């Protein structure tokens, strides 16, 4: 599934793979076991054209917050990581859309 997601990237394949590897190792360094089922989360972050370190930090922070919540505790860190990556992606896409709309507003003024 990771390769299908990365196929959407306009970047060079090697650069995209390097980003994936860096994200994977940062997660492992922070005691996250990233099973193949969760590679989708890494692919999603690779598609986002933003500071990867900040995205990973946000994702780790959100996964740890979810882990502390009673209703999400049973999911485990892996699933919380997946949920956090989706949330990070959505937040970034919303912010990008707001900027796009603001720029259009300035052009049409």
Distance, in Å, from the CA atom of 38 to the CA atom of 35, rounded to the nearest integer, reads 6
**Domain membership of residue 88 as a residue range:** 2-108
Mean pLDDT for the stretch of residues 14-24: 89
User: Please, what is the average pLDDT of the chain?
Assistant: 76
Residue 56 pLDDT class (50, 70, 90 cuts): confident
Residue 20 has pLDDT above 80, yes or no: yes
Residue 53 vs residue 98, higher pLDDT: 53
Residue 39 has pLDDT above 70, yes or no: yes
Residue 26 has φ and ψ, to the nearest 5°, of -65, -40
Residue 62 vs residue 77, higher pLDDT: 62
Q: What is the pLDDT of residue 108?
A: 61
Mean pLDDT for the stretch of residues 19-42: 85
Residue 77 has pLDDT above 70, yes or no: no
Q: Name the domain count of the chain.
A: 1
**Cα→Cα distances 43→3, 9, 100, 108, 109, Å:** 8, 9, 24, 36, 38
Residue 109 has pLDDT above 80, yes or no: no
- What angle in degrees, to the nearest 10, is found between the helix axes of 13-29 and 39-47? 130
User: pTM of this prediction?
Assistant: 0.67
Nearest 10 degrees: Cα torsion 85, 21, 40, 88 = 10
């Amino acid at each position: 599934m990771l390769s299908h997601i990365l196929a959407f990237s306009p970047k060079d394949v090697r650069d995209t793979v390097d980003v994936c590897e860096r994200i994977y190792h940062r997660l492992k360094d922070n005691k996250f076991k990233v099973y193949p089922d969760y590679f989708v989360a890494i692919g999603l972050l690779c598609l986002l054209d933003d500071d990867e370190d900040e995205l990973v930090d946000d994702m780790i922070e959100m996964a740890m917050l979810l882990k502390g919540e009673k209703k999400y505790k049973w999911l485990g860190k892996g699933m919380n990581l997946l949920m956090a990556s989706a949330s990070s992606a959505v937040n970034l896409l919303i912010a990008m859309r707001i900027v796009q709309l603001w720029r259009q507003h300035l052009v049409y003024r």
